[in-house]
């Protein structure tokens, strides 16, 4: 049984379903099985996606990002699969919980980054420490 011990995830435990450990490479293989390109460091290869993608700086106000996410098509999906980096397990997460508390999930990764995909595979999102950017295959900021 996989347990969630990360302090930042504890308040949301009822909305999380552990699927696999990071070391299992579950997320990487899941993406590859669904023809979503992955870099050698297990991050989504945004440059190889066959569709447009969007980026914006995460230093923007946390509440502003949350408000924008609530207005996206992503919010109409019930659950996401979220990969939290090296520590916490990969989990199914209620989308509403993810949207409302995405920054706590980022903290749970040790500020390394998080990747998420909707269960219908239409929506991808990744917050990366190496660039400090949010990446998505759907428009989050209506001004971008």
Closest CA to 102 of 52, 94, 18: 94
Per-residue pLDDT of the chain (144 residues; tens, 9 = 90+): 778 888 899 999 999 999 988 777 888 888 999 999 998 777 889 889 877 788 877 767 788 889 999 999 999 999 999 998 777 888 999 999 999 999 999 999 988 889 999 999 999 999 887 777 888 998 888 776
Q: CB-based burial of residue 4 (10 Å sphere; 0-12 exposed, 13-18 middle, 19+ buried)?
A: middle
What is the pLDDT at residue 29?
A: 87
Whose tokens are 């490479």? That residue is 25
pTM over 0.75: yes
What is the pLDDT at residue 93?
A: 95
What is the pLDDT at residue 72?
A: 92
């Amino acid at each position: 049984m996989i347990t969630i011990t990360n302090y930042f995830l504890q308040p949301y435990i009822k909305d999380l379903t552990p699927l696999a450990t990071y070391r299992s490479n579950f997320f990487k293989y899941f993406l590859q099985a669904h023809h979503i390109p992955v870099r050698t460091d297990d991050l989504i290869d945004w440059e190889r996606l066959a569709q447009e993608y969007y980026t914006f700086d995460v230093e923007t106000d946390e509440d502003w990002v949350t408000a924008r996410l609530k207005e996206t098509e992503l919010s109409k999906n019930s659950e996401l699969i979220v990969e939290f980096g090296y520590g916490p397990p990969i989990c199914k997460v209620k989308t509403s919980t993810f949207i409302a508390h995405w920054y706590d999930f980022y903290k749970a990764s040790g500020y390394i980054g998080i990747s998420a995909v909707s269960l219908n595979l239409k929506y991808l999102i990744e917050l990366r420490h190496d660039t400090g950017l949010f990446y998505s295959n759907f428009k989050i900021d209506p001004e971008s």
